[in-house]
Amino acid sequence: MSDIKTGINPLFLREEELRQGIELLFFAYRDFTAEPDAILGEYGFGRAHHRVIYFVGRHPGITVSDLLDILRITKQSLSRVLGQLVTEKFITQRPGLRDRRQRLLELTEKGVELERLLTERQRARIARTYREAGAEAVEGFRKVMLGLVDEADRGRFPTRAAGPRRGG
Amino acid sequence: MSDIKTGINPLFLREEELRQGIELLFFAYRDFTAEPDAILGEYGFGRAHHRVIYFVGRHPGITVSDLLDILRITKQSLSRVLGQLVTEKFITQRPGLRDRRQRLLELTEKGVELERLLTERQRARIARTYREAGAEAVEGFRKVMLGLVDEADRGRFPTRAAGPRRGG
DNA sequence: GTGGTTAAGTCAGTCATGTTGACATATATG
DNA sequence: CATATATGTCAACATGACTGACTTAACCAC
């Protein structure tokens, strides 16, 4: 009631601010995934394939268990997409050295190409946005996004605090 | 090659930065949706129901067309979830005044309750994160997220600096 | 080395949510 | 009146998630 003059209730402002946060996540994610989704369609793949290709590319030699931990889906769900990707030679499996029960996953040449094709759009979108928003905004973006991630997984994002910020 | 001393290639740094951006979106969205999803399960609903409830709650009296524009799904897809929500009395429909072909959507009391229950978790997560990250980081977050959204939809996020954009 | 645990895979069935395509109805508009 | 628009519906299908039960191979502890 202290805002009668401006007509803006600070509680409403907070509510509005939080809702905008929710919606930013919805719209950004919607648009962020739309481009790769369209490309995936041409291959008869879906978003699940992209995720698998992405994280195998990101962590060459990753185990199935670790991939399941990231994706938070069941092994039966993963099995289908992974099976396709292996059959169609986008991903190879080889037994682990220390533990031969493991099937270490890696992208083939073909897999690397597809990964690049798919992720390229997303990288470009982020690069453009980062450039337009500026370093300070990017820092804030990272901070908030990291705070939204479950604590257990925040360790996946090492801070590069020590090194040179942007040499090029 | 100017980074031989540190062993850090600036191009690699950039690549790493962009990939972290991609992954922040993945992990944040994954964890942001997990809590409501669990609650929805108890009602026999899914994430699609949440989206409908959310945006109808956000824009009382919204038309089906406008809702479709937001969700970017087909009317057949929407029809199923919307039909359920109307049947189970979470949402009401009434004909438009100017255009009686329209079915203006609104949450019922029951719908408002469920919306609150679902979104409460997400608001809490964002509120906590905003608090921990600080106002400056939040500003950066908003700036970058908005940049990731397709230009066509950026107008949905009025800056509260320049006065009321859409009269509500 | 036997036995329990773990990593991974498989088979089968189900559900939620998206798609296309064709068609129906009511209302608006030129 | 003719056409376009807003909405809804029926049908068929694909994707990606789920549960539950079971198998195989390898690891590990006793």
CB atoms near residue A167 (< 10 Å): 14
Residues with Cβ within 8 Å of A79's Cβ and at least 6 positions away in sequence, in order, are: none
Q: Are B147 and A141 in contact (CB under 8 A)?
A: no
pLDDT tens per residue, range A33-82: 999 999 999 999 999 999 999 999 999 999 999 999 999 999 999 999 99
Distance of CA A15 to the CA centre of its chain: 28
Mutate to test the interface with A, among B18, B145, B156 (most CBs of A within 10 A): B145
Tokens at A147, concatenated: 């705070």
Pairing assessment for the beta strands B103-107 and A91-95 based on DSSP bridges: unpaired
The rounded distance, in Å, linking the Cα atoms of B118 and A16 is: 16
Residue carrying the six token digits 């925040």: A154
CA dihedral B42, B46, B48, B52 (to 10 degrees): -10
Q: Are A124 and A116 in contact (CB under 8 A)?
A: no
Query: Strand runs (DSSP E) across chain B, as ranges?
Result: 91-95, 103-107
Residue-level pLDDT at B12: 72
Pairing assessment for the beta strands A91-95 and A103-107 based on DSSP bridges: antiparallel
What's the mean pLDDT when you consider all of chain A?
91
Asked if A80 CB < 7 A from strand D, the reply is yes
Q: Which residues touch strand C (CB under 7 A)?
A: A 63-65, 75-76, 79, 82-83, 93, 96, 99, 101-103; B 40, 44-49, 51, 71-74, 76-77, 80-81, 98-101
Q: Could you list the mean pLDDT of each consecutive 10-residue stretch along chain B, which spans 168 residues?
A: 58 86 98 96 95 98 98 97 97 96 97 96 95 96 97 90 45
The rounded distance, in Å, linking the Cα atoms of A57 and A55 is: 5
Mapped onto helix, strand or coil, the DSSP state of residue A106 is strand
> Which domains are present in chain B?
10-149 (1.10.10.10)
pLDDT tens per residue, range A122-154: 999 999 999 999 999 999 999 999 999 999 999
* Element containing residue A94 per DSSP (H, E): strand A91-95
Tokens at A84, concatenated: 């396709």
Nearest to B24 by CA among A20, A63, A129, A106: A129
The rounded distance, in Å, linking the Cα atoms of A71 and A69 is: 6
For residue A94, list its beta bridge partners.
Answer: A104
